[in-house]
A and B are shown apart, each in its own frame.
Chain A
Amino acid sequence: MADIVLDHVYKRYPDGTLGADDVNIEIADGEFIILVGPSGCGKSTTLNMIAGLEDISDGELRIGGQRMNERAPKDRDIAMVFQSYALYPHMTVRENMAFPLKLAKVDKAEIDRKVTDAAKILDLTQHLDRKPANMSGGQRQRVAMGRAIVRSPKAFLMDEPLSNLDAKLRVQMRTMVSKLQQRLETTTVYVTHDQTEAMTLGDRIVVMRSGVVQQIGSPQHLYDHPANLFVAGFIGSPAMNFLPARLENDSLRTALGDLALSDQVRQTLSSSGAERDVIVGIRPEHFEDAALIEEGIRHQGSTFSAQVDVLESMGSDKFAYFTIEEQATSDELAELAADAGTADVPGGDAGQLVTRLSAASGASEGQSVDVWVDTSKLQVFDPKNGKNLTASEAAPATV
């Protein structure tokens, strides 16, 4: 058990590209931290640098207060779970799990005891003498976990350990990983590109984009106070809606009509300058069928009416999709769309507004409906650099 500190860490490739650009992360002892971002964002590079599988070009990595840059992976006392599991196919499950202990020259009785314990935790006891080839994906995954935990290392590193499992199993294993981490209280660094995994598993999330840390914070903090457009668009499903808007006096002129700013938003914005073009972000759940909003609360937001394109009833909620003419554009949003693959879908997310309405809503496809927006929850972004203009509280958490 130990804390892990990345202190101004850089990864420079021979061709000059930066895999990690001034990464600063302090991971507390026993913390479960998630590195998340689209592919190629540097999250795996960062993990490999912690593991020692890739060299650190500049900066310092400390585990338990000691500098690790020059140490070989085997001398760092950390265990890793790979996306492909990387089980040794010529060894049985027992031998696979005993391998790190055997290398550490632990005596036989102790190895047996530890492997049996780990197998019990992971429900692998009856499979101990099987070879990985004869096991299912979920079982192999558990063996990989077992190989990591037998050694009681200082930290666990997990490189997308669940992405090879099918959807249902992934949810089960997610809970298992979470329970396991709580039980062992070992510092864990977990890499994923799946924002749902990131939201549900981690104590804190590190969002990365092209080698640069965008924001570090608890899942809720990132959701409520994204530091920039990229984080806002990446965290949350369905994603936040982004609309181009013009800030005039006390209101935002958007395709949905003029949105009155709440006092709180106005205060933070007033210091940031006068009339200007901005991008406004609204989460789907901050919309509601206006008919269901009590008169007393209605003035806290704005109401617009539009025709429902598609209505998806989930039972607990209804997702209503509207078309909007104008579409917010920025590098960050383009990158997110490309990563999600929506850029390739004809009509994709382009000019679409997603709203989550109560199941009691009377909205129906093709009909016009009055929709209410909670304007106190608006996020306003600078279209030039993507910065969140409303997130003054988020500032200390940003690096």
Chain B
Amino acid sequence: MATAVESRPAAPAKGSSKGAGMSEGQKKTWWAVADLVVLLYALVPVLWILSLSFKTTDTITDGNFFPRSWTLDNYAQIFQIGLFTAALRNSIGIALISTVLAVVIGTMAAYAIARLDFPGKKVLVGVSLLIAMFPQISLVSPLFDIFRGIGIFDTWLGLILPYITFALPLAIYTLSAFFREIPWELEKAAKMDGATPLQAFRSVIVPLAAPGVFTTAILVFIFCWNDFLFAISLTSTSRSQTATVAIANFTGASQFAEPTGSIAAAAVLLTIPIIVFVLFFQRRIVAGLTSGAVKG
């Protein structure tokens, strides 16, 4: 308390000398610089990978940011193996199915949590949070055993199940926050207008929750797409191996050669679906969609 009182006279003097000294233009410049730093920090590794993927085998270790000699061999190579194409197909299929299922189930669960009062609601929310916090690595061995026992080891289902399990808490949390934002009176109005609860949900609540649903879909898709731990532990053949695992299994021309170029090319390819997915859904994430529903 005493220090706060003492420091008070000093604070405005400091603030005024700095704040008044900076014009609107200078402020903008500083923000631009800060943005640029953050952008570079995030993008340089990506650009580095991109650069590596275009380098020829003999220049790959030269340390130049811009490749001296350009080549598309690395890309051609990974598709020649065949293994990677199958893995890419597995990745897309598994991630999409998991995303759709997690979002559909999550939407319904989140709606119930946001709107209804039922016994055990707090427990349900708590348990779903617990699942999200559970270390995945500790589940790998039991899942391996169980899945082999029931015969879903090395299948799509064997990956979709754990993905949904871990994506659901995320989906439920994000979506219930969105549902709470939707005025309850809209639902009452729909009921009065003659809608069944399902009709009200489908034609009033879901369109309004769409931004939330798409945001959740993006997050869940990225989670499934990027997973390596479950994918490497619960698969063994190209039947269900995903792209992340396929990259790890790349081998060079001889056992002494590192397949750096191929890995870089595959990594670049792997980010493309995510960028497409985000760009596609970003257009639908329209902020303030609910404005105009109720006054205020």
Measuring CB to CB, which residues of chain A are less than 8 angstroms from any residue of chain B? Answer: 51-53, 72-74, 78-80, 82, 84-90, 99-100, 103-104, 131-135, 137, 140, 147, 151, 157, 164
Contact B193 A100 (CB under 8 A): yes
- Contact of A103 with B194 in the complex, beta carbons under 8 Å: yes
Enumerate chain A residues within 8 angstroms of B203, measured Cβ to Cβ: 99
Given A84-B183, A88-B204, also A135-B193 (CB < 8 A): no
A213 to B271, CA, bound (A): 68
Does B204 contact A103, Cβ atoms closer than 8 Å?
no
Q: Which positions in B face A, CB cutoff 8 Å?
A: 183, 185-186, 188-196, 199, 203-204, 207-208, 288-296
Query: With A88-B293, A132-B292, A140-B295 known to touch, is A82 a contact of B188 (CB < 8 Å)?
Result: yes
Q: Chain A residues near B196 (CB, 8 Å)? A: 72, 74
Q: Are B292 and A133 in contact (CB under 8 A)?
A: yes
Chain A residue nearest to B292 in the complex (CB) = A133
Q: Is the CB of B292 within 8 A of A135?
A: yes
Whether B193 lies near A103 (C-beta < 8 A) is yes
Q: Nearest-CB distance from A66 to chain B (Å)?
A: 17
| B185 CB contacts on chain A under 8 angstroms | 82, 84, 86
Find out whether the CB atom of A84 lies under 8 angstroms from the CB atom of B294. Answer: yes
Chain B residues lying within 8 Å of A133, measured Cβ to Cβ, are 288, 291-292
Cα A90 to Cα B292 in complex, Å, equals 9
Total number of residue pairs linking A and B with CB closer than 8 Å: 88
Task: Determine which of B188, B191, B293 lies in contact with A87 in the assembled complex, contact meaning CB atoms within 8 Å.
Answer: B293
How far is it, in angstroms, between the C-alpha of A151 and the C-alpha of B207 when the chains are bound?
24
**Of all chain A residues, which has the CB nearest B208?**
A90
Chain B residues near A100 (CB, 8 Å)?
A: 193-194
Knowing that A74-B193, A133-B292 touch, tell me 8 more A-B residue pairs with CB under 8 angstroms: A72-B191, A74-B191, A74-B195, A85-B294, A140-B292, A151-B193, A157-B192, A164-B295
CB distance A132 to B293 under 8 Å? yes
Nearest Cβ on chain A to B189's Cβ, whole angstroms = 4
Contact A53/B188 with A74-B195, A89-B208 known, Cβ cut-off 8 Å: yes
* Nearest B-chain residue to A164, judged by Cβ: B295
Which residues does chain B contribute within 8 Å of A53, judged by CB atoms? 188, 191-192
Asked if residues A74 and B186 are in contact (CB atoms below 8 Å), the reply is: no
Is there an interface contact between B294 and A73, defined as CB atoms closer than 8 Å?
no
List chain B residues, Cβ under 8 A from A164. Answer: 295
In the assembled complex, how far is the CB of residue A44 from the closest CB belonging to chain B, in whole angstroms?
12
CB neighbours (8 Å) of B293 from chain A are 84-89, 132
- Nearest-CB distance from B123 to chain A (Å)? 20
Residues of A within 8 A of B194 (CB): 74, 100, 103-104, 151
Query: Could you list 12 examples of A-B contacts with CB < 8 Å?
Result: A73-B191, A74-B196, A78-B192, A80-B188, A84-B183, A84-B294, A86-B183, A86-B189, A99-B193, A132-B293, A134-B292, A140-B292
Contacts of A82 in B (CB 8 A): 185, 188-189, 294
| Residue of chain A at shortest CB distance from B290 | A89
Between A79, A99, A147, the greatest number of chain B beta carbons within 10 A of the residue's beta carbon is seen for: A99
Which residue of B183, B193, B289, B291 has the most chain A CB atoms within 10 A of its CB atom? B193
Shortest CB–CB separation between residue A263 and chain B, in angstroms?
54
Contacting pair B208 A80 (CB below 8 A): no
Give 6 closest A-B pairs by Cβ, nearest first: A133-B292, A84-B294, A132-B292, A100-B193, A86-B189, A86-B185
By beta carbon, the residue of chain A nearest B191 is: A73
Give the CA-CA distance A85 to B296 in the complex, in Å: 11
User: Could you tell me if A86 and B294 are in contact, using CB atoms closer than 8 angstroms?
Assistant: yes
Min CB distance, B203 to chain A, in Å?
8
Shortest Cβ distance from residue B287 to the other chain A in the assembled complex, whole angstroms: 12
- A-side contacts of B195, CB under 8 Å: 74, 103
Chain B residues contacting A104 (CB-CB under 8 Å) are 194
Task: State the CA gap A131–B288 with chains docked (Å).
Answer: 13
Q: Using Cβ atoms and an 8 Å threshold, which residues of chain B touch A87?
A: 189, 292-294
Cα–Cα, bound, A164→B293 (Å): 13
Q: A103-B193, A103-B194 are in contact. Are A86 and B292 (CB under 8 A)?
A: no
The residue of chain B having its C-beta at the shortest distance from the C-beta of A137 within the complex is B295
B5 shortest CB reach to chain A, Å: 35
Question: Which of A73, A131, A135 sits near B192, CB closer than 8 Å?
Answer: A73
Residues of chain B lying within 8 A (CB to CB) of residue A73: 188, 191-192
Could you tell me if B207 and A80 are in contact, using CB atoms closer than 8 angstroms? Answer: no
Cα distance, A85 to B189, chains bound together (Å): 9
- Selected from A51, A52, A80, A85, the residue in CB contact (under 8 A) with B295 is A85
A85: chain B residues at CB < 8 Å are 293-295
CA–CA, A164 and B185, complex, Å: 15
Provide the bound-state CA to CA distance between A53 and B190, in Å: 11
Question: How close is B209's CB to chain A, nearest CB, in angstroms?
Answer: 10
Check if A89 sits within 8 Å of B188, measured CB to CB. no
Residues of A with C-beta under 8 A to B288: 133
